[in-house]
């Protein structure tokens, strides 16, 4: 009986447990410098290499597609937009 591939297991662990810790408060980092944002991306890129088994020369976009994991930059911008929308609906913004 096959319980799933190692990549599936790593993705199942990464998405609900590790990524939320990396993304906590990330909406505020939209205005941070590119250097700070790149440091956070590096953490996810290292996780992608573990998940996919990719070498250092493997393009990040390929690993993101293979693991079905969005770039943190995209998720950060979407989170900021959702936060702004919630604040505008609140009425006191």
Pair 70, 45: CB distance under 8 Å: no
Average confidence score pLDDT of the chain: 89
Residue 18 has pLDDT above 80, yes or no: yes
Residue 9 has pLDDT above 70, yes or no: yes
* Residue pLDDT, tens place only, 65-89: 999 999 999 999 999 999 889 989 9
User: If pLDDT is split at 50, 70 and 90, which confidence band does 1 have?
Assistant: very low
Long-range contacts of range 24-27, CB-CB < 8 Å, 24 or more positions apart? 26/72, 26/75, 26/76, 26/79, 27/76, 27/79, 27/80, 27/83
* Residue pLDDT, tens place only, 46-63: 999 999 999 999 999 999
């Amino acid at each position: 009986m096959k319980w799933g591939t190692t990549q599936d297991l790593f993705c199942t662990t990464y998405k609900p447990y590790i990524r939320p810790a990396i993304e906590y408060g990330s909406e505020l980092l939209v205005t941070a410098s590119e250097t700070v944002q790149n440091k956070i991306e590096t953490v996810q890129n290292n996780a992608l290499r573990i998940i996919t088994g990719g070498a250092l020369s493997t393009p990040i976009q390929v690993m993101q597609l293979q693991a079905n994991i969005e770039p943190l930059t995209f998720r950060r911008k979407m989170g900021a937009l959702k936060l702004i929308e919630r604040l505008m609906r609140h009425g006191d913004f």
